[in-house]
Structures are given as structure tokens and as C-alpha cells.
Chain A
Amino acid sequence: DIQMTQSPSSLSASVGDRVTITCQASQDISNNLNWYQQKPGKAPQLLIYDASDLQAGVPSRFSGSGSGTDFTFTITSLQPQDIATYYCQQYDAFPRTFGQGTKVDIK
């Protein structure tokens, strides 16, 4: 199985800060990586697919990069409504696997 190692597990930042989350795959997954946002009590929402493509309707302050085994998710200017847990997920192979999540809150 492909292991997804996401870091940090949590972070606290101020409104307007740049926030970066990393995700490392245990083997080459090309660009077959997604990022999801999950707010408390809600279903996850797809933000980024194919490592760097922005899902329709998602604000441009969210972005993704990387390929192979190393990936980065960035919020360029953190907003109060971005408080959530973020997950990376590979879809290069079955079983599909998620990172353990990064909980983002406001300092």
C-alpha cells in the first residue's frame, strides 16, 4: 500500500498568513494527488486535484504543487473561514490512501 505522510499534524496561524502543508508518498504517484478540506461536522470538499489543479469554485488563495513523492499545499492568505482539517489523498493505486490530516486554526 502507498503510505501518505502529511505534516504538520496541526498548525496555528494568523489571518493573512501564508500556510504550507506537505505530503509525502511512500512511492512515486506521478501527479495523482488530491487535497480536501473538511470543516467540523461536514463532509470533505475537494480543493485541488492532479496535484495542482484548482477545483471549480474554490478560491485562488488555495494552491498545490509537486509530483512524484513530494507535494505541497498552500493557502496564500489565511482567512477565518479556512479553519478546517486538510487531507491529502493519492489515487494512483488501490487502496486509495489519505494522509492523517492537518488541523488548521487561527492564532
Chain B
Amino acid sequence: EDQLLESGGHVVQPGGSLRLSCAASGFSFSTYAMNWVRQAPGRGLEWMSTISGSGASTYYADSVKGRFTISRDNSKNTLYLQMSSLRGEDTAVYFCTKDKFRLIRSPFESWGQGTLVIVSS
């Protein structure tokens, strides 16, 4: 069974930085693309970023491009999201997700429980 466990959420000041982690288990981590999806309080779901299984390809939402960096360490079965120049509108629960298929187009089959990031002075 797929297991995804996010960590690293915290209260951070505007302009600050934070790194989120997602520890994965129960599947062959390096063969699946992984994603970050966020949800602001009381709002809907917003896709943030995707990284291929090898880490060679990455994709970002315009709202975070240039500020957030997705990466992975396949030797540690861990996904990361490095967040910088944080703004109040980045306040959200951040979910790590695993693709269902080993294809460029795939649903998000498995989700972590989420980690809360609050950007506030």
C-alpha cells in the first residue's frame, strides 16, 4: 500500500523560505512521477508542481515558478519542495501525491495527509 508522509510545514514570515519533505513507501518510488498540490484555507485544490521519476523533468504552476523548486532523492524515497520568497497567499495545506500510471498523463492516485504552511508576520 502506498504511503506518503509530508513534513516541514511551519509558520514563516513573508519573504522567508521553507523546505517541505514527503517520505514515500510501499511502491517503487523512482518509477513514478510525484506532485505537490496545495489547498488554501476554505478554498479548492491547486496543482503546484510535478517531477518525473528520474527527476529530469519538472513542471510548475505560474504562481510559484521561480520561487519554488521541486526535487527528489530516489535513494531516500523522498520528495521535496523548496519554497522561497513566500507570500501570504502561499498559506495552505500542501499535499504530496503519487501518479497512478508511469505515463506523462496520469491521475493522482495516492495522497499524503498534508502539511500546513502559514506565511505570516
Contact = CB atoms under 8 A, between A and B. Distances in A.
Contacts, number: 53
A74 interface: no
Contact of A34 (B46, B61, B107, B111): B107
Contact of B46 (A46, A94, A98): A98
Given A87-B44, A95-B59, 14 more contacts: A43-B112, A44-B95, A44-B108, A44-B111, A46-B100, A46-B108, A89-B108, A91-B107, A94-B50, A95-B47, A96-B50, A98-B47, A101-B44, A101-B45
B109 A55 contact: yes
20 contacts: A32-B105, A36-B45, A38-B45, A43-B95, A43-B112, A44-B95, A46-B100, A46-B109, A49-B100, A50-B107, A55-B109, A91-B106, A91-B107, A92-B105, A95-B47, A95-B60, A95-B61, A96-B47, A97-B47, A98-B44
A87 B107 contact: no
Interface in A47-100: 49-50, 55, 87, 89, 91-92, 94-100
A14 interface: no
B31 interface: no
Contacts of A50: 107
B114 interface: yes
Q: For chain B, give the interface size range.
A: 20 to 34
Contacts of A27: none
Interface of A: 32, 34, 36, 38, 43-46, 49-50, 55, 87, 89, 91-92, 94-101
A45 B114 CA distance: 13
Nearest to B65: A95
Interface string B41-71: 0001111001000000001111000000000
A36 B97 CA distance: 13
Nearest to A101: B44
A43 B50 contact: no
